[in-house]
């Protein structure tokens, strides 16, 4: 069961001036982060339940929390997946999607099944066979496309790999 | 590329070919431009001395000089131009880099910076700033006596008029950051800091977040920069600030995923 009250309580606790300004001891800061992370996990279950209800499906949903350092096990290994965008604003938004991938070309389709312009930009700091382990052990390339979502709503984009999968397996992930 | 620049239908952004640093932003739709330099600087924090034992801390910035030191006077660069994005990658040091991006249809310049882990040396402690110097804008009137005050969402610099229209350079932050306009025409935002000495204000440990591997935190964030007339700026930066604060969340599903046509608000409820 999903439960948004865990995050609500964690955010309420983090209204303390220490949490807002970072004037607490390290172990207290770690505990604020732990509570927020736990609240985030419970909300992801809630969003997954909502998506299952709306889509009439029980398929598993994957939340990639490390997209800002180009890490997402699903997009790095799957040759066919769906990207769902939830827009919390009361107006339509366009949003650039960047996902770490191993292939060099993909077909992206919008919610109406129409093709969407996309490209894979190879990240030279993450070559397929890195001479030295880069800071973020990510995939060799990033899939870019411009997505959009309706007001207070979802939209789903299909992604299919076109190029043969380059021989690349995600390295062991650093824990944490 | 002899002319180091990126552009879309709204903006052209020029870089100094010698230093690789930002040099000028041109608003193509309205036909004006502004010389803008941007880089990463650091302040040496105070460890306290005989005159004043107060060390820098989370409450008190108190650098031991009001002149920031550049992390590097030039950056190694890599230019990427594709139909979906034009970006310049800048590398200032082993722990300070940035990507400046322009995408089709977006009237703002995105700066994605990555700073850390800040190497701490005995006795020295550093606070990092990304700073923007724009023309001869007027110094911001900071409301805190220290001149450095929290910037929770955006900062503006008013720049010299163009055809009697006041220009405005707006910087949107994706989180609260300490910031100030110390010198006329400059804007400073603190993106990272690391202190090795307690400030004796009760916490009894320095503000030195070692991170999970003990080497110090690596921080990545974004600043969005808009250049327009002051009259037109609010229409641009207010919706953008909302999108930064309440950005769409991305969920993935293997295979064809759920049959979520484009479900909109009314359809949802």
Each residue's pLDDT tens digit, B80-120: 999 999 999 999 999 999 999 999 999 999 999 999 998 87
Any CB–CB contact under 8 A between B247 and chain A?
Answer: yes
Over residues B118-142, the mean pLDDT reads 53
Chain B residues whose beta carbon lies within 8 Å of the beta carbon of residue A26: 205, 209-210
DSSP label of B222:
E
Residue A158's nearest CA partner among A95, A79, A88 is A79
- Structure tokens belonging to residue B64: 């031991």
| CA–CA gap between residue A56 and residue A40 (Å, rounded) | 24
A146:B103 CB<8 A: yes
The partner residue sitting opposite B268, judged by closest CB among A21, A85, A153, is A153
Give the residue with greater pLDDT, B28 vs B195.
B28
> Residue A59: its pLDDT value, please?
84
> Residue B140: its pLDDT value, please?
39
The mean-pLDDT minimum among B80-84, B138-142, B211-215 falls in B138-142
Please give the torsion angle defined by the CA atoms of residues A170, A172, A174 and A175, in that order, rounded to the nearest 10 degrees.
110
Chain A residues whose beta carbon lies within 8 Å of the beta carbon of residue B212: 176
- Cβ neighbours, 10 Å, residue B21: 21
CA distances from A32 to A90, B11, B229 (A): 30, 41, 42
Any CB–CB contact under 8 A between B80 and chain A?
Answer: yes
Using a 10 angstrom Cβ sphere, with 0-12 exposed, 13-18 middle and 19 or more buried, the burial of residue A2 is middle
> Residue A127: its pLDDT value, please?
47
B44 pLDDT higher than 50: yes
Residue A100's nearest CA partner among A129, A71, A64, A65 is A71
Nearest residue in chain B measured CA to CA from A73: B252
On whether the CB atoms of residues B85 and B109 are closer than 8 A, the answer is: no
Using a 10 angstrom Cβ sphere, with 0-12 exposed, 13-18 middle and 19 or more buried, the burial of residue B96 is buried
Distance in Å, alpha carbon of A131 to nearest chain B alpha carbon: 17
Concatenate the DSSP letters of all residues of B252-265 into one string: EEETT------B-H
ipTM: 0.86
Nearest residue in chain B measured CA to CA from A72: B252
- Region of A19 please: left (phi>0), alpha (psi -120 to 50) or beta: alpha
- Cβ neighbours, 10 Å, residue A132: 4
Concatenate the DSSP letters of all residues of B166-191 into one string: EEEEEEEESS-EEEE--STTEEEEEE
On whether the CB atoms of residues B20 and B4 are closer than 8 A, the answer is: yes
Helices (H), B113-173: none
> Residue A97: its pLDDT value, please?
96
Give the residue with greater pLDDT, B162 vs A103.
A103
The mean-pLDDT minimum among A167-171, B44-48, B136-140 falls in B136-140
- Cβ neighbours, 10 Å, residue A158: 19
| CA–CA gap between residue B127 and residue B125 (Å, rounded) | 7
Residue B59 pLDDT grade (very low, low, confident, very high; cuts 50, 70, 90)? confident
On whether the CB atoms of residues B31 and B227 are closer than 8 A, the answer is: no
Distance in Å, alpha carbon of A66 to nearest chain B alpha carbon: 11
| CA–CA gap between residue A30 and residue A145 (Å, rounded) | 35
> Residue A22: its pLDDT value, please?
82
A85:B248 CB<8 A: yes
A145:B84 CB<8 A: yes
Percent above pLDDT 70 for chain A: 84
B250:A26 CB<8 A: no
Let me know how long chain A is. Answer: 176
Nearest residue in chain A measured CA to CA from B220: A68
Percent above pLDDT 90 for chain B: 49
| CA–CA gap between residue B11 and residue A172 (Å, rounded) | 41
On whether the CB atoms of residues A18 and A33 are closer than 8 A, the answer is: no
Phi, psi of B38 (to 5 degrees): -145, 140
Q: Going along A14-173, which residue ranges are E strands?
A: 80-87, 93-101, 106-109, 115-116, 118-122, 141-149, 153-161
Give the residue with greater pLDDT, B102 vs B130.
B102
Nearest residue in chain A measured CA to CA from B246: A88
Local confidence pLDDT in tens for the 176 residues of chain A? 899 999 999 999 999 999 988 889 999 999 999 999 999 999 999 999 988 888 888 889 999 999 999 999 999 999 999 999 999 999 999 999 999 999 999 999 999 999 999 999 876 555 444 433 344 455 779 999 999 999 998 899 999 999 765 555 555 554 43
Residue B18's nearest CA partner among B3, B35, B38 is B3
Whole-number average pLDDT of chain B: 83
Any CB–CB contact under 8 A between B52 and chain A?
Answer: no
Any CB–CB contact under 8 A between B122 and chain A?
Answer: no
The partner residue sitting opposite B220, judged by closest CB among A69, A87, A124, is A69
Distance in Å, alpha carbon of B82 to nearest chain A alpha carbon: 8
On whether the CB atoms of residues A115 and A88 are closer than 8 A, the answer is: no
Phi, psi of A85 (to 5 degrees): -110, 125
Q: Is B31 helix (H, G, I), strand (E, B) or coil?
A: coil
């Amino acid at each position: 069961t999903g439960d948004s009250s865990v995050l609500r309580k964690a955010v309420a606790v983090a209204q303390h001036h220490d949490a807002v300004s970072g004037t607490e001891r390290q172990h207290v800061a770690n505990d604020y982060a732990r509570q927020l992370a736990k609240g985030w996990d419970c909300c992801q279950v809630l969003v997954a339940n909502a998506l299952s209800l709306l889509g009439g499906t029980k398929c598993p949903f994957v939340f990639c929390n490390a997209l800002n350092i180009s890490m997402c096990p699903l997009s790095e290994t799957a040759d066919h997946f769906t990207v769902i965008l939830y827009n919390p604003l009361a107006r339509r938004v366009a949003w650039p999607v960047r996902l770490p991938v191993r292939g060099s070309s993909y077909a992206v389709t919008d919610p109406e099944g129409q093709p969407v312009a996309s490209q894979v930009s190879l990240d030279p700091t993450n070559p397929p066979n890195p001479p030295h382990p880069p800071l973020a052990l990510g995939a060799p390339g990033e899939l870019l496309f411009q997505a959009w979502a309706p007001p207070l709503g979802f939209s789903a984009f299909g992604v299919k790999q076109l190029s043969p999968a380059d021989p690349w397996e995600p390295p062991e992930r650093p824990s944490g | 590329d002899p002319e180091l620049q990126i552009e879309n239908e709204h903006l052209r952004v020029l870089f100094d070919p010698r230093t690789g640093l930002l040099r000028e932003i041109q608003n193509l739709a309205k036909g004006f431009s502004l010389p803008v330099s941007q880089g990463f600087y650091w302040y040496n924090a105070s460890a306290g001395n005989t005159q004043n034992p107060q060390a820098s801390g989370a409450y008190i910035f108190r650098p031991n000089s009001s002149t920031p030191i550049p992390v590097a006077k030039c950056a190694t660069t890599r230019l990427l131009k594709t139909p979906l994005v034009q970006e310049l990658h800048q590398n200032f040091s082993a722990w300070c880099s940035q990507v400046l991006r322009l995408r089709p249809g977006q009237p703002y310049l995105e700066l994605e910076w990555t700073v850390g882990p800040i190497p701490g040396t005995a006795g020295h402690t550093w606070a990092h700033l990304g700073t923007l110097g724009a023309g001869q804008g007027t110094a911001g009137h900071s409301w805190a006596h220290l001149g450095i005050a929290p910037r929770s969402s955006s900062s503006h610099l008013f720049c010299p008029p163009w055809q009697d229209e006041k220009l405005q350079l707006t910087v949107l932050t994706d989180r609260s950051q300490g910031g100030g306009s110390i010198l006329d025409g400059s804007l400073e935002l603190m993106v990272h800091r690391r202190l090795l000495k307690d400030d004796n204000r009760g916490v009894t440990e320095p503000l030195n977040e070692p991170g999970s591997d003990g080497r110090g935190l690596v921080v990545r964030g974004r600043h969005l920069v808009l250049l327009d007339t002051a009259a037109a700026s609010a229409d641009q930066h207010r919706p953008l600030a909302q999108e930064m604060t309440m950005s769409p969340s991305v969920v993935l599903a293997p295979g064809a995923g759920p049959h979520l046509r484009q479900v909109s608000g009314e359809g949802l409820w």
